[in-house]
Amino acid sequence: MGMAAVVCFGEVLLRLSAPGRELLLQSPRLEVCVGGAETNVAVALSRWGHAVRLASVLPDNALGAAALDELRRHGVDVSAVLRRPGRMGLYFLAPGAGHRPSEVVYDRAGSAFATAPDALDWPRVFDGADHLHVSGVTPALGPASAQAAIAAVRAARNAGLRVSFDGNYRARLWQAWDGDAAGLLRQVLDQADIAFVDHRDVALLLGRRFEEADPAARFAAAADAAFAAFPRLARMACTVRTTHSVDHHALQGLMALREGTRHTTRTVEVRGIVDRIGGGDAFAAGVLHGLRSGLGDAEALEFGLGAGVLKHTLPGDVMLLRASDVAAFVDAGQLDVRR
């Protein structure tokens, strides 16, 4: 029998980007790639040697077929992806430049996933799996998706799977249907073993503020509150991002464990950014890879930070570099040509 699988549940998207640093439709061209928060995690983990199954709903048309082919190309098991009538979820990206931030326009309403996410047979999806990864994007899409996310994490818990949750709060998606973000996300996080959330996510969920001046102290206070509110939660991790310009950020990783241990990585200056989309997903995938590969918590956090940093060097949503590439960066920060 092969290794137990990680199941990632969420919508597969097509990203349509303005070329270069243009505004949307400044010239009549768009560059297309496959992405989405949970898809990005699935692809990274699969490329790093893990058995990964994506649970989703795709339209029964040429766009859905192309997305499936892309997932298969990266070794992701798509046996739990349903095909249904409907449209493909899209988002449009105008990449930022200098002091002009990137801008995202969502076009996901009424997609095949958003209208039929409850059609998945969870006992079949979870067969041979030991871990479910979800994000806050799915419950933000609408009432049906929110209930499907809650049902998924509860079914996973009942089946004995570990659950990871990435906050990925998307205000525009919640506002589109006036959804109860705090109430619904609490029900998802209540089932999680590990959460990729920061103090802002915890503040939203618990209706309180964390105002410590030091980022690490603020994270620690939020973690203490989260552990008190969510008894199953064992680990909480996030990145601290300082944005100097679109092309220059600084990233640091933080992790808190329920028993009180805290881990902090070095701060990495990230210059010459190619594409920051998917950096958080690469971080989450990196931490999960480390934990599933037997690394200690501190080492898994370092690997996650390395994966997140290196994702900034790649265009598109997904992290395509090998685990050995990430490990080499973590170990030495080597920038020399490897011959």
The answer to whether position 280 is within a domain reads no
Contacts of 302-306 with C-beta under 8 Å, sequence gap 24+, read 302/253, 302/265, 302/330, 303/327, 303/330, 304/237, 304/253, 305/239, 305/251, 305/252, 305/253, 305/265, 305/268, 305/330, 306/330
Looking at the structure of the chain, the number of domains it has is: 1
- Does residue 126 fall inside a structural domain? yes
Distance CA 169, CA 185 (A): 9
Could you tell me where the beta strands, DSSP code E, fall in the chain?
Answer: 5-9, 13-17, 31-35, 52-59, 81-84, 89-94, 103-107, 129-135, 162-166, 194-196, 235-245, 248-257, 262-264, 268-271
Predicted local confidence at residue 197, as pLDDT = 98
Query: Which mean pLDDT values do the consecutive 10-residue runs of the chain (339 residues) have?
Result: 86 97 96 97 98 98 98 98 96 92 93 89 97 97 95 97 96 94 98 98 96 94 98 98 93 97 95 95 98 97 97 96 95 51
Determine, yes or no, domain membership for 147: yes
Instruction: Return the CATH number at 15.
Output: 3.40.1190.20
Distance, in Å, from the CA atom of 194 to the CA atom of 227, rounded to the nearest integer, reads 11
**Which pLDDT score, from 0 to 100, does residue 2 have?**
62
**Does a structural domain hold residue 291?**
no
Is residue 150 assigned to a domain? yes
Q: Active-site positions? A: 281
- Examine residue 332 and state whether it is found in any structural domain, yes or no: no
In a domain, 310, yes or no: no
Interval 197-218: pLDDT, tens: 999 999 999 999 999 999 999 9
Q: Identify whether 39 is part of a domain.
A: yes
Read off φ and ψ for residue 84, nearest 5 degrees: -140, 155
Q: What is the pLDDT of residue 192?
A: 98
Domain that holds residue 125: 5-235
